[in-house]
Structure 1
Amino acid sequence: MSAYLQFDNVSKHFPGVIALGGVSFEAHAGTVHGLLGENGAGKSTLLKILGGQYRPDGGRLLLGGQPVAFGSASDAIAAGVAVIHQELQYVPELTVAENILLGRLPTRYGFVDKSSANRIVSERLALLGVDLDPQARLVDLSIAQRQMVEICKAVMQDAQVIAFDEPTSSLSHRETDILFRIVRDLRADGRTLIYISHRLEELYALCDACTIFRDGRRVVTHPVMADVPRERLISDMVGRELSDIYDYREREHGVERLKIKGMAPDCDFTVRAGEVLGFFGLVGAGRSELMRQLYGADKRTPGTVLLDGQPVPHHGPSSAIAAGIVLCPEDRKEQGILAQASVSENINISVRRLDLMGGMFLRHRREAELADEFIKRLRIKTPNREQEIRLLSGGNQQKVILARWLAEPDLKVLILDEPTRGIDVGAKNDIYRIIHEVAARGCCVIVVSSELPEVLGIADRVAVMREGRIAGVLARADANETSVLRLALPDSTPNDTTARRTA
């Protein structure tokens, strides 16, 4: 095996931040090389240099032993490099076929030949085992389906180097299995593969070697990943030992505080003060839809939301927020952050409605103090409060959204939809700590997650959804992988004795 891809002392700086500080490592043809590190460690910046989106401030990139310098993404593609970024890059109004073949669409008489494009993509999708309609518009697809489109687009470029940045963050188990098969086929074909994931089980399943980043620098490269204990990887990444990542704490739960009744068929549930209720289900089970109805982001069907015994009005998110119910959405990029605004503005955007006295100078001072307080409290990695949030890593963006809702003076119900998707193990530990702190204050916390170990690790009870209904609710003592999956899988039936007892 030869070192086809080499990074030689590569550096990249942004105002106030060293994104990469002299990084050197190599990846061999016919292998999968994993990149590990906390959010903001420099992994995605490295891939943007590889993909031609950024130019390095120093160092060299070599392909096949030859130095290359990419001025654009098209230069990288022409050199045989394909990058699947964590933040999906697609044209929502175009079809699956048009997105996959963008920049190389077949033409006839000077016009795009859509029938040929559909045929080409349909044949390749069939070979990959991916079930997508070439004529479907991206805007009409789920996040998971859009992710598969991006993966297929990169694979169909027939690149020699393919980099994956958190490719399974939105995928179902079935789609993840398809991706793993694609990655293994590409490795067997002699491609050079870079794979970033915060899910260590994926890295152990796929990667031959790995390089660990911390604070923009390479910490270590392990040439045989299978030989490295999980605890060693975690300590290399975060620089400290994490004996119990979930940080679960036994708590006394108070009276029933939140009650959902009749909002959707077989979806009634309650949450007590100080309780963490986990929601698990396969992709498409209806978890996010239920939470968005509760919050008022989607039109609510006839039903009742009772908080401390009082009905919450059906007037959208503003009514929910006023009552003390807040939501961190599944798609933080599209629905959570104000991308062009600063960290401070994103934290203060909701509580501004409460500032009914004082002039602009006083308001700015209060907002600065509040932003600085939460940056410190939640360990948000940012050069300063005025940094645009879009320049932060995904994990730090998630912490900013959390700060926005924790700043609410009368928070009663915190709903977190996939709160740790695409987030490193250290940031996950920080978010779990925050969840338990909020619950300890007597708030109700609802956590929706596709990661079963996460739900089992942090929840006091686990509600399992299947096909738009709650199939059962399990006490922590009764919740394990077998009992939860038995309720979640389509061909299973609810466990009447355990599930309904704890509903």
Structure 2
Amino acid sequence: MQVELRGITKAFGANQVLKGVDLKLEPGEVHALMGENGAGKSTLMNILTGLHKQDDGTVYINGEQKQYANPKEAEENGISFIHQEMITWPDMTVLENLFMGKEIKNKIGWVLTKEMKKEAEKVFNELGIDISFDRTMRTLSVGQQQLVEIAKTLLNDAEVIIMDEPTAALTDREIKLLFKIIRQLQEKNVALVYISHRMEEIFEISDRVTVMRDGVSISTKATKDTTYDEIVRQMVGRELEDYYPEMTHDKGEVVLEVKNLTHLPHYENISFKLHSGEILGFSGLMGAGRTEIMRGIFGIDSFEEGEILLEGDKLDIKTPHDAVKKGIGFLTENRKEEGLILDFPVKDNISMTAFEEFSNKGWIDTKEEKEFVDLLVKRLTVKTASIDLSVSALSGGNQQKVVLAKWIGAGSRILILDEPTRGVDVGAKREIYNLMKELAERGVAIIMVSSDLPEIIGVSSRVLVVHEGSIAGELHRDELSEERIMTLATGGE
């Protein structure tokens, strides 16, 4: 299937999201769609699949003008969209999810489970997927759920598959399997639109790259004919001379000490010290226990043994509220479910941890609250039409800035940042790194959990590597390399 979008424009009220976008997709190619958060990538794909209707411009399918009424019609015509936040029925089985709304039935309406399993087995065998059809979706890893979604598109005879940040929560092994399947799909002449902020993936898997900026398609090139620097320059409209800001790493006194923290089977005997003004990196493979350790420190989950000391005094943290009162903030890796109240406005999401700053005897000084939020929005360059806009309307990078603003506004002395730049574009990443540097220079102690090795190396003053629930080693700034981190992360010495 050949797809072409010409001169696509789209506005939501006064917000002009797309200002004239061209995109051409050939059968059997992997076409990377790049751009900062808010550039209009998802809106463009939602127009192609019929979720939104463009204000101007034309969609052509195999040379003929076409307008799908809704995503279901697009799917029935061979175009499937696998969203970053996958839409599944978690308490239903894999088989039920595969055939939801498209069950194979006999003449009297009975569902033919055996026939459905036969059809699904063909696709699973083709793709090399080994997952029981009887498992519920909730019991699968994110990577396994992604594979089920891909299998579903093939059951629907998809000729075009759109993948939005498909590797954001996958392990290295799952990413390799995904790439293997993508290449198999190419051999079947399936075309893929691949939306990702991970530049190394773009150069490994894509044939062509289209870059968008501020609702306009800037360029389309064969991937082999462009460079990392050129794509970044086109995305942000400027040079990013130093991707990671120069960190001073002048650390002060120990502010937090963790001693022998244990919560089996997740982690055991975790001990480390955190200094004011430093950025302590936590690295390791997905599932090693990094996030679980942070959840224990912040009081989300209890731990069985060990103690936490703040400036030498033992802490009794039973809940996140206890941690916040002690000046600890936690930016979780799952911002949509744990970091934000999506239906609430930007203002409320930022001010919720700092009501004492502008309240008197239970009454909120709304003028003071607005000034407080406006200051943080300006400082963190949150792109929003209004602080009264629902936070769900913001791009991923701006949502992440709102979560950061919340914890900075709370006056956190210790900040735990779990995957702080996941799903965030290169420009917003740089802004987050600059903010981390500024906070560290002001004496804030930062723990950063990240699966991005260049990020860990570029930002951290030292790194603790976690392997199967234990700290496998500590690397100081002058010892940091991807090889050394991966050696420790995989159980080597």
- What is the TM-score when the length of structure 2 is the normalising length? 0.94
- In structure 1, how many angstroms separate the alpha carbons of the residues matched to 2:113 and 2:317? 45
Structure 2, unaligned runs of 5 or more: 263-267
CA RMSD in angstroms, aligned pairs only: 1.8
Equivalent of 2:398 in 396, 399, 421: 396
Structure 1, unaligned runs of 5 or more: 496-503
Match of 1:211? Answer: 210
Q: Which amino acid aligns with 1:386?
A: D
Instruction: Please identify, of 165-174 and 106-115, the stretch whose mean Cα deviation from structure 2 is larger.
Output: 106-115
Instruction: Please identify, of 420-429 and 240-249, the stretch whose mean Cα deviation from structure 2 is larger.
Output: 240-249
Taking structure 1 as reference, are residues 287 and 203 closer, same or farther at Cα in structure 2, changes over 3 Å only? same
Match of 2:333? Answer: 330
Number of residue-to-residue matches in the alignment: 487
Deviations 1:72-128 (A, max 9, x none): 111110111011112221222222222222221233552444455455434533431
- In structure 2, how many angstroms separate the alpha carbons of the residues matched to 1:151 and 1:328? 31
- The yes-or-no answer on 1:421 pairing with 2:419 is no
Q: CA shift at 1:346, angstroms?
A: 0.9
Equivalent of 1:64 in 62, 65, 68: 62
- In structure 2, how many angstroms separate the alpha carbons of the residues matched to 1:322 and 1:118? 53
Match of 1:498? Answer: none
Taking structure 1 as reference, are residues 117 and 365 closer, same or farther at Cα in structure 2, changes over 3 Å only? farther
Q: Which amino acid aligns with 1:196?
A: I
- In structure 1, how many angstroms separate the alpha carbons of the residues matched to 2:342 and 2:212? 26
Deviations 1:154-187 (A, max 9, x none): 3443211111111011111111111111111222
- In structure 2, how many angstroms separate the alpha carbons of the residues matched to 1:126 and 1:243? 47
Match of 2:261? Answer: 263
- The yes-or-no answer on 1:377 pairing with 2:376 is no
CA contact (8 A) 2:279 2:461 kept: yes
Match of 1:477? Answer: 478
Identity %: 38
- In structure 1, how many angstroms separate the alpha carbons of the residues matched to 2:45 and 2:368? 38
Match of 1:187? Answer: 186
Instruction: Please identify, of 206-215 and 260-269, the stretch whose mean Cα deviation from structure 2 is larger.
Output: 260-269
- In structure 1, how many angstroms separate the alpha carbons of the residues matched to 2:437 and 2:19? 36
- In structure 2, how many angstroms separate the alpha carbons of the residues matched to 1:401 and 1:205? 32
Taking structure 1 as reference, are residues 296 and 120 closer, same or farther at Cα in structure 2, changes over 3 Å only? farther
Q: CA shift at 1:484, angstroms?
A: 0.7
- In structure 1, how many angstroms separate the alpha carbons of the residues matched to 2:120 and 2:315? 48
- In structure 1, how many angstroms separate the alpha carbons of the residues matched to 2:328 and 2:119? 48
Taking structure 1 as reference, are residues 157 and 37 closer, same or farther at Cα in structure 2, changes over 3 Å only? same
Taking structure 1 as reference, are residues 142 and 358 closer, same or farther at Cα in structure 2, changes over 3 Å only? same
Taking structure 1 as reference, are residues 111 and 294 closer, same or farther at Cα in structure 2, changes over 3 Å only? farther
Match of 2:462? Answer: 461
CA contact (8 A) 1:130 1:178 kept: no
Match of 1:309? Answer: 312
- What is the TM-score when the length of structure 1 is the normalising length? 0.93
SS at match of 2:270: coil
CA contact (8 A) 1:418 1:447 kept: yes
Q: Which amino acid aligns with 1:325?
A: I
SS at match of 1:266: strand
CA contact (8 A) 1:8 1:60 kept: yes
Match of 2:87? Answer: 89
- In structure 2, how many angstroms separate the alpha carbons of the residues matched to 1:54 and 1:94? 29
- The yes-or-no answer on 1:16 pairing with 2:8 is no
Deviations 1:450-498 (A, max 9, x none): 1111111111111111111111111111120111111111xx33x3xxx
Q: CA shift at 1:300, angstroms?
A: 2.5
- In structure 2, how many angstroms separate the alpha carbons of the residues matched to 1:24 and 1:255? 55
- In structure 2, how many angstroms separate the alpha carbons of the residues matched to 1:168 and 1:250? 32
Q: CA shift at 1:354, angstroms?
A: 5.0
Q: Which amino acid aligns with 2:481?
A: N
Taking structure 1 as reference, are residues 366 and 129 closer, same or farther at Cα in structure 2, changes over 3 Å only? farther
Equivalent of 1:367 in 361, 365, 369: 369
- In structure 2, how many angstroms separate the alpha carbons of the residues matched to 1:383 and 1:43? 19
